[in-house]
A and B are shown apart, each in its own frame.
Chain A
């Protein structure tokens, strides 16, 4: 049997295991172990598993993950999101669809201190949904706008998916974070345009709320926006300025959110303890999966599947954008079935060499595209994570109603991806400044 055949059998065995509901981390480690034993030796495979387990868990560069995850959960439990939403809606709530638009603005700003799409959707859902219900917003529009708003949380730095992509491809986390800013703002504007068009055509979807005066708006600015800006400038700003490593930026961000919440007495002892439990759980899930993916990647490397695939794609008589479109399509399909982080870890060893080495696409730009494409999966059926989170907040709303409202936002994401394909500078401009 050639090494290529063993590699392909390994991939199939792995897919069978995850289809039978083995945790993805264990399935990757097991398939990696089995393949490596077959191709090298069982003893070498056992040593590889032990060594990778220790070296990945104790890696300084991976220690960035628990720090940024904690920062996000502290922001979630501190209630900073509530203040942000109130500010945004005092500013624009009196326009048709204004509360849904305010949700997008609040999600984008909250995304600046939270790196997870589910935490962003959960935070904003708990605040924005009751308000939109009060003003008789269409349930589909209200719920879908929050679910989709969560995607802004991963595009705007910090972002856990960017960190994992950076680890898997050895790209700078700082550059990736910077690359996400403009696409994040662009996507927010496209979301707003989508809501505007929907409510223009049918004003009953999002009736106007009460108008606030400027004094109320300025009052609402206190206690939310200022704190977020302070923490963002300190943590992400420090990373961009080169003062901090990504891990340090995460720790400074967590300390910043914690400090602000303690000074303003927003965070209870219970909330603090919950933030720790949520952080250790999420970090263990992510880092165990990273370790599993590394083991699987070691097997893939000895089987030469990724290299052969990259060579094959390079020899295809198709223009490079067509191959890229095929890759994006594959991600869209898989994104509907597999969790975003797991999908990035699984597919990067296979598609990254094709896109970057063979086709010559910019690795930072490809990262932004990947984050957007896999993020679509969190709002598409059947396993759209954000939709389930919103369902958890409003259990009486059927899933179909939420999924029905999602399509204008999906179109907005697709338009954003298309714009990034045509104008890659949207993603590469800011990181380009960093390297000068």
Chain B
């Protein structure tokens, strides 16, 4: 279990580092586009589209590590009042429901990507295929799912142990 949890954390961190790289790339692209537009009157062709697609990578790939750091906002106020035993059981249920919903969503985002690939959908300006970006969002969601799986197992063990 420890190895699996370490593996998921490591994988999330690698995706997050890639997201950091794409963040820097987005900023550089925007600034270069402004400079070229102002000085040489020749903006980067399709910069608008690239920025959107790069942002999708920044966010999609950092979803999981955000989950590892417990940074997706939740409200603990009500649950904190409950007895520890009940709190553990609720935590198990909520983790499992969240994980299942995210798994189904990730699957359908993937299906959406493959339908884009089959229909040969490209972005309107640069004619670039968009499906790889959608697949990467699905990947980010899938790894976030794994983070929630680890959380679910941990919460089940905690609930069992507390008894």
Contact = CB atoms under 8 A, between A and B. Distances in A.
B72 A23 contact: yes
Contacts of B63: 284, 288
B53 to A, nearest CB: 6
Contacts of A252: 30-31, 34
Nearest to B38: A243
A423 interface: no
A49 B30 CA distance: 29
A288 B30 CA distance: 23
Interface stretch (A53-61, A203-211, A321-329, A389-397): A53-61
A399 interface: no
A351 interface: no
A338 B48 CA distance: 34
A262 interface: no
A9 interface: no
B133 to A, nearest CB: 7
Contacts of A273: 20
**Chain A interface, DSSP helix/strand/loop, else mixed:** helix
Contacts of A47: 108, 112
Interface in B71-113: 71-79, 90-91, 93-94, 97-98, 101-102, 104-105, 108-109, 111-112
Contacts of A280: 16, 19-20, 23, 58-59, 61-62, 65-66
B51 A247 contact: yes
B1 to A, nearest CB: 23
B77 A337 contact: yes
B152 interface: no
Interface in A1-45: 17-26, 29-30, 33
A62 interface: yes
A285 B111 contact: no
Contact of B74 (A21, A63, A276): A21
A287 to B, nearest CB: 5
Given A21-B94, A22-B98, A247-B51, A67 B26 contact: yes
Interface string A92-134: 0000000000000000000000000000000000000000000
A233 to B, nearest CB: 15
Interface residues of B, number: 56
B27 interface: yes
A186 interface: no
Contact of A63 (B19, B51, B60, B73): B51
Contacts of A17: 94
A288 B101 contact: no
A234 B69 CA distance: 34
A60 B105 CA distance: 23
B39 to A, nearest CB: 13
A19 B79 contact: yes
Given A247-B30, A251-B30, A20 B55 contact: no
Contacts of A54: 56, 109, 112, 133-134, 137
A383 interface: yes
B71 A20 contact: no
A411 to B, nearest CB: 25
Given A22-B97, A26-B72, A30-B97, A63 B24 contact: no
Interface of B: 16, 19-20, 23-24, 26-27, 30-31, 33-34, 48-49, 51-56, 58-63, 65-66, 69, 71-79, 90-91, 93-94, 97-98, 101-102, 104-105, 108-109, 111-112, 130, 133-134, 137, 141
Given A50-B109, A285-B72, 18 more contacts: A20-B94, A21-B79, A21-B90, A26-B102, A50-B105, A57-B59, A57-B60, A57-B137, A58-B133, A60-B48, A67-B27, A280-B59, A280-B66, A282-B71, A284-B62, A288-B59, A337-B77, A342-B73
Interface of A: 17-26, 29-30, 33, 46-47, 49-51, 53-54, 57-60, 62-63, 66-67, 70, 244, 247-248, 251-252, 254-255, 273, 276-277, 279-285, 287-289, 337-339, 341-342, 382-383
